[in-house]
Amino acid sequence: MAFEIPLLRDDTLLLRPHTAADRDAVHARCVDPLTLRWTTVPVDYTSEMAQEYLETISAPQENAVSWALDVGGRYAGTIDLRFEGAASGSLGFVTSPEYRGRGLMSRAVRLATAHAFEDLDWDVVTWKANAGNVGSYKTVWRCGFPRPVAVPYLLNHRGKMVEGWMSSLAAEDPRHPSGSWEEAKTRLPSVPVNAG
């Protein structure tokens, strides 16, 4: 069964299916240095790759649902829910450089996790990132994801297994942070010397 891509909105943010018109913006965020550092986007990413990517994710998929973040008609990033069986899945996202630092992706995470729990009847949503990706964790921390655990060899990063951070939010968990960000930062796992 393919996952539909419903429109989800929160005030000025719309989560919508990707379109061919997003190609240039997707390409621009895929060649951004921070995106290259923390994701597995190919280092030689081309406009043609962006087009192929959009053709794949703009239609309903068997094991995932992908949305474009839309602010005032402009593409601002991508967020995915990936089904992993047993009423659970994982969350992935990337923000376009010019939209970082606004809390926009945290709003998208709230919309996506609410959809997972309330519409898809999932029990758990898990976030994973390379160890040291504090910005990505802050995004999900705002939505209630607890302190991550460090897992050696969790993620395949361009052909090398690297340590990752992982945190899971259950349907019954509070969807807001407990405590301040300053406190949360002090409790993050230590980062391996060669991470990032």
- Residue 137 has φ and ψ, to the nearest 5°, of -65, -40
* CA–CA gap between residue 141 and residue 45 (Å, rounded): 30
Answer whether residue 192 is part of any domain: no
Average pLDDT over residues 99-107: 96
- pLDDT tier, 119 (very low <50, low <70, confident <90, very high otherwise): very high
Q: What is the pLDDT of residue 2?
A: 87
Q: Which two tokens stand for residue 69?
A: 């973040």
What's the mean pLDDT when you consider all of the chain?
Answer: 95
Q: What is the DSSP letter of 20?
A: G
Q: Do residues 27 and 75 make contact, with C-beta atoms less than 8 angstroms apart?
A: no
Share of the chain above pLDDT 70, in %: 97
Q: What is the pLDDT of residue 39?
A: 94
- Residue 49: which CATH number? 3.40.630.30
- Does any domain span residue 2? no
Spatial separation of the C-alpha atoms in residues 126 and 171, rounded to whole Å? 11
The reported pLDDT for the residue numbered 193 is: 67
Q: What is the domain count for the chain?
A: 1
Count, residues in the chain: 196
Supply the pLDDT for residue 150.
97
CA dihedral 179, 184, 187, 192 (to 10 degrees): 170
Kindly give the pairing relationship between strand 124-130 and strand 88-95. parallel
Cα 175 from Cα 121, distance rounded (Å): 16
Angle, helix 104-114 to helix 134-141, in steps of 10 degrees: 50
Alpha-carbon torsion 142, 189, 86, 79, what sign?
positive
In a domain, 93, yes or no: yes
Using the predicted structure, report yes or no on whether residue 196 has a pLDDT greater than 80: no
- Whether residue 18 lies inside any domain: the answer is yes
Mean pLDDT computed over 30-42: 94
pLDDT, tens digit, for every residue of 47-74? Answer: 999 999 999 999 999 999 999 999 999 9
Mean per-residue pLDDT, 6-28: 97
> In the 8-state DSSP scheme, what is residue 113?
H
Evaluate whether residue 165 is within a structural domain: yes
Q: Could you give phi then psi for residue 105, rounded to 5 degrees?
A: -70, -30
Confidence at residue 185, expressed as pLDDT on a 0 to 100 scale: 95
Return the exposure string of 123-152: e unless at least 16 CB atoms fall within 10 Å of the residue's CB, then b: ebbbbbbbbbbbebbbbbbbbbbbebebee
What mean pLDDT do residues 14-21 have?
98
pLDDT of residue 195: 56
pLDDT digits (tens, 9 = 90+) for 137-164: 999 999 999 999 999 999 999 999 999 9
- For the segment 78-105, the average pLDDT, to the nearest whole number, is 97
Question: Which residue segment(s) compose the domain that 127 sits in?
Answer: 8-186
Does 1 fall in a domain? no
The residues pairing with 125 across neighbouring beta strands, listed in sequence order, are: 89, 169
Q: Both tokens of residue 168?
A: 């899971």
